[in-house]
């Protein structure tokens, strides 16, 4: 089974632990846009991504969003199994950003193994530490970085993920990633366009001068808002 090659610390589990996982793991394919886990619902389980892309975000009471991290091939999603750890007191939504193939390990199975296996528990520690680093990076962005730089950063990151300068993304979606309003993003992108860095059309942002965008990111944009 393919799964065994994707699951970390597999070789450090006992045969009994391995068979408990193999006996309970489920394979699932989800379409882009599917909400796989919604904070307020039941414990979905640990997600292991075979291929695809997931986004974890939080929601305000008014329905505003901000992306807290993204997961790619071979990544494992811990917070969809947050019921495993009683100290987790927050809710995230996990959504497929692309068609995604994944495995789901039931929370109680993983929890049981973690309780008896130091390697599994330590791996989980590293996993949480990695997400913690993502979130600390986000705080620094929000606190100390102006929005123009965050938008430029996001566009360049998207281009790198998609391996394309033609980004099929709406202003609304960018706003939801960055935790701001669509109008603010539209104004910012129009400024970028007026500076020749991007070209806008419906549902599309094309990076026309990546170097200039990088330069502006490093050296600072003129204040535009």
Chain positions contacting a second copy, by CB under 8 A: 58, 60-62, 64, 66, 68, 85-90, 114-118, 120-122, 124-133, 135-140, 142-144, 179
Tokens at 51, concatenated: 């291929």
Q: Which is nearer to a second copy, 58 or 169 (CB)?
A: 58
Q: Which is nearer to a second copy, 62 or 163 (CB)?
A: 62
Q: How far is the CB of 181 from a second copy (least distance, A)?
A: 12
Q: How far is the CB of 167 from a second copy (least distance, A)?
A: 24
CA distances from 33 to 36, 144, 148 (A): 9, 31, 27
Q: How far is the CB of 191 from a second copy (least distance, A)?
A: 23
Q: Measured at the alpha carbon of residue 88, what is the angle toward residues 83 and 90, in degrees to the nearest 5?
A: 100
For the chain, percent helix, then strand, then coil, each to nearest 5? Answer: 45, 20, 30
Residue ranges of alpha helices (H) inside 80-146 are 107-116, 118-144
Q: How far apart are CA 112 and CA 165, in angstroms?
A: 45
Q: Which is nearer to a second copy, 114 or 167 (CB)?
A: 114
Of residues 151, 175, 162, 159, the one with CA closest to residue 65: 175
Q: Which is nearer to a second copy, 154 or 192 (CB)?
A: 154
Q: Which is nearer to a second copy, 132 or 215 (CB)?
A: 132
Furthest CA-CA distance within the chain: 63
Q: Which is nearer to a second copy, 66 or 200 (CB)?
A: 66
CA Rg, the chain, in Å?
20
**CB-based contact 84:107 (threshold 8 Å):** yes
Q: How far is the CB of 195 from a second copy (least distance, A)?
A: 25
Q: How far is the CB of 53 from a second copy (least distance, A)?
A: 20
Q: How far is the CB of 120 from a second copy (least distance, A)?
A: 8
Q: How far apart are CA 187 and CA 49, in angstroms?
A: 36
């Amino acid at each position: 089974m393919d799964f065994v090659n994707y699951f970390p610390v597999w070789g450090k589990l006992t045969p009994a632990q391995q068979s408990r996982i193999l006996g309970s793991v489920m394979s699932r394919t989800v379409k882009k846009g599917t909400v796989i886990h919604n904070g307020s619902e039941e414990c979905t389980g640990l997600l292991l991504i075979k291929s695809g892309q997931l986004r974890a975000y939080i929601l305000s009471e008014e329905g505003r969003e901000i992306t807290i991290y993204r997961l790619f091939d071979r990544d494992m999603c811990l917070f969809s199994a947050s019921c495993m750890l009683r100290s987790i007191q927050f809710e995230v939504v996990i959504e497929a950003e692309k068609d995604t193939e994944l495995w789901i390990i039931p929370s109680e199975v993983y929890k049981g193994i973690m309780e008896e296996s130091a390697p599994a528990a330590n791996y989980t520690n590293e996993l949480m530490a990695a997400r913690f680093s993502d979130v600390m990076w986000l705080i620094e962005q929000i606190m100390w970085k102006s929005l123009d730089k965050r938008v430029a950063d996001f566009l360049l990151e998207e281009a790198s993920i998609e391996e394309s300068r033609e980004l099929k993304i709406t202003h609304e979606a960018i706003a939801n990633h960055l935790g701001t309003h669509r109008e603010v993003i539209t104004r910012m992108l129009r400024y970028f366009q007026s500076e020749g860095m991007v070209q806008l059309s419906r549902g599309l942002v094309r990076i026309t001068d990546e170097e200039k965008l990088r330069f502006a990111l490093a050296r600072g944009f003129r204040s535009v808002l």
